[in-house]
Amino acid sequence: MKILGISAHYHDSAAALVVDGVPVCAVQEERLSRSKNDAAFPINAIEWCLDHAALEPADLDAVVFYERSMLKFERVLTSTLCAFPRSWGAFPHAIKNTLGEKVWVRGIIASQLGIPRSRILFTDHHASHAAAAFLASPSRRAAILTADGVGEWATLTVGTGERRADGQTDITLRREIRFPHSLGMLYSTMTAYLGFKVNEDEYKVMGLAAYGRPTMIDQVRRTVRQQADGSFTLAPEYFEFQTSAARSYSSKFIDLFGPPRDPYDPIDLDSSDGRRFADCAASVQRVLEDILVDIATRLRRETGLPDLCFGGGVALNGVANARLLAEAGFDRVFVPSAPGDAGCSLGAALYADRIYFRNPDRDVPDHPFWGPAVDASHLARAAREDGQAVEELGDAPLIERIADELAADRIVGWMDGACEFGPRALGHRSILAASHEPGMRDRLNREIKRREDFRPFAPIVTSEAADRFFDLPPGGARLARYMSGVFPVRPEWRPRLGAVTHVDGSARVQVLERDMAPRLHALLEAYGRRTGMPVLLNTSFNVAGEPIVTQALEGYMTYRRCGIDVLVGGNTLVSKRSTAASLKESGEWSSNSVAASTVG
């Protein structure tokens, strides 16, 4: 049975294809359209998935949309009408937004793909999150927690999943918290108040939180009130997201926390305002963690299950995830590589396969590499046409050579195999660099990433060496498989891991097992033989404001215009240093050409 899953029209659209119960491919629209967080109907992603599997739309048994758009429309309509006349200004915007495209999804899919409407199915938004978290995990029975901004009405659900011995699958979401009461909206409101982009920059709030102290917990607790049963409500007088498209926090929110940050003002952590913003971030972060830990602890007690599968955008919060693992009583916590709405495309397809069609249970391969593969021949051709020196090396010499380059503090663009599904570079589209020098962080920020100084870079380490450098609790390596947990760097290593240790001594480490990315694992070992530390800085292969590179050519163009020294695509290596050397050999050496080849 061939099932296409689609998520679209809100944030980060994607498509995923499941054939005979197993994912075949999945990709976010932004990786193909090159428009960051592209929310459009993912026609490029759908076409690529069908091409990849050599299918025509008519071959599909079902197309599953990741939420029930009519219910979502009902929620938007009800919320704006309930808040009348306060919501009068927002009403046309809300209606246009939902009526424009979002309601008539069945018609859009039927006309775009040319398939009968009867083959188009819909899942609940949080069922899609739950399926993405549970069915892609190796767990056979697990408690399930989902949390995000909002889907149709639900913003948080708890339940259980079971892959039964008879091959059937159950997912039961027992309880939910409904809009406007939402942990995701609480965090996004603080994100907006701190001058960052909602639905995009929430991780900046988490990074900033490490610089602050949770001095405003009482104020945050006034905006979110917890009940005796662990559920919570947002106090409506502090929020405007339910009634206004223009601003998500109210003037009462400003009375509580002070004037909001202008997005164009830099954050100066030496100023009183800068410290206040960091304290706001630390306070909302702490309250979010406390509420999640409380809900998960009750869920553990209620279900008696040792595994937790956690999905939804809130599951991108690695600090909260680490606390769930440490404090809620679960032995293992699974967060998929794409816990947000993009991952719902895969979740919806798996949900339809197992629950709607009652197809037998299948193991889902435990890796995040479901996107387009890099074609090294494209890289070689583009680089040669551009007059660059190109080398083709076998696996072993390539890895030794790149380990030398990294040990000599050169920055490497690394493209290998199929690209990652989800927001993080997990070893196939990464910028790699030495992890020991704080100066490397500044260099990456200055020459490539151009992001705020307070944001940390993440390390990647071999699974064999992880415990030596990082203080991982039981289950920590599993959570770190997809970079989903923030853990302490062991104090004795902090001075020697200066480029990847955050101000509070933590790191959002990826623990890499050999099977998941064998070439990168070999590279970490080769680097370890040179430096004594099989730990590299690993950041996504993109520059500020752009999606992570997908194709070899995108990697090459990024390499040419920023401070990456060496580019690897498969077994092809392009290096600015070798370009300079080859120009010298051919007699074309000049100060101009050196400058051009060095700066790119």
Cβ nearer to Fe ion, comparing 30 with 341: 341
The phi and psi torsions of 89 (rounded to 5 degrees) equal: -65, -35
Is residue 461 within 8 Å of 469, Cβ to Cβ?
yes
As given in the structure block, the two tokens for residue 567 are 């580019």
Residue carrying the six token digits 């249970």: 361
Cβ nearer to Fe ion, comparing 158 with 267: 158
Q: State which H helix or E strand residue 307 sits in.
A: strand 307-311
Cβ nearer to Fe ion, comparing 348 with 512: 348
Q: State which H helix or E strand residue 526 sits in.
A: helix 518-531
Q: How far apart are CA 251 and CA 292, in angstroms?
A: 27
- Minimal distance in Å, beta carbon 318 to Fe ion? 18
Residue 460, beta-bridge partner list: 510, 536
Cβ nearer to Fe ion, comparing 148 with 289: 148
Size of the site for Fe ion (CB under 5 A): 2
- Minimal distance in Å, beta carbon 593 to Fe ion? 50
Q: How far apart are CA 509 and CA 564, in angstroms?
A: 22
Helices (H), ranges, 183-340? 183-193, 202-209, 217-223, 251-257, 272-303, 318-327
148 interacts with Fe ion by CB under 5 A = yes
Q: Are strands 566-569 and 412-415 parallel, antiparallel or unpaired?
A: parallel
Mask of contacts with Fe ion, 339-378, x by CB under 5 A?
--x-------------------------------------
Cβ nearer to Fe ion, comparing 147 with 524: 147
Mask of contacts with Fe ion, 452-481, x by CB under 5 A?
------------------------------
Neighbours of 271 (CB within 10 A): 12
Residue, CB closest to Fe ion = 148
- Minimal distance in Å, beta carbon 195 to Fe ion? 24
- Minimal distance in Å, beta carbon 65 to Fe ion? 13
124 interacts with Fe ion by CB under 5 A = no
- Minimal distance in Å, beta carbon 341 to Fe ion? 5
Long-range CB pairs of 101-106, under 8 A, 24+ apart, other chains included: 101/9, 101/41, 102/9, 102/10, 102/69, 102/72, 102/73, 103/69, 103/70, 103/72, 103/73, 104/69, 105/8, 105/9, 105/65, 105/69, 106/65
Cβ nearer to Fe ion, comparing 129 with 478: 129
Cβ nearer to Fe ion, comparing 148 with 565: 148
- Minimal distance in Å, beta carbon 499 to Fe ion? 33
- Minimal distance in Å, beta carbon 360 to Fe ion? 28
Of 43-51, 141-149, 265-273, 323-331, the segment contacting Fe ion by CB under 5 A is 141-149
Binding to Fe ion in span 316-345, by CB under 5 A: 341
Binding to Fe ion in span 34-93, by CB under 5 A: none
Cβ nearer to Fe ion, comparing 150 with 376: 150
As given in the structure block, the two tokens for residue 152 are 């149709």
- Minimal distance in Å, beta carbon 313 to Fe ion? 6
Give contact residues for Fe ion (rule: CB under 5 A).
Answer: 148, 341
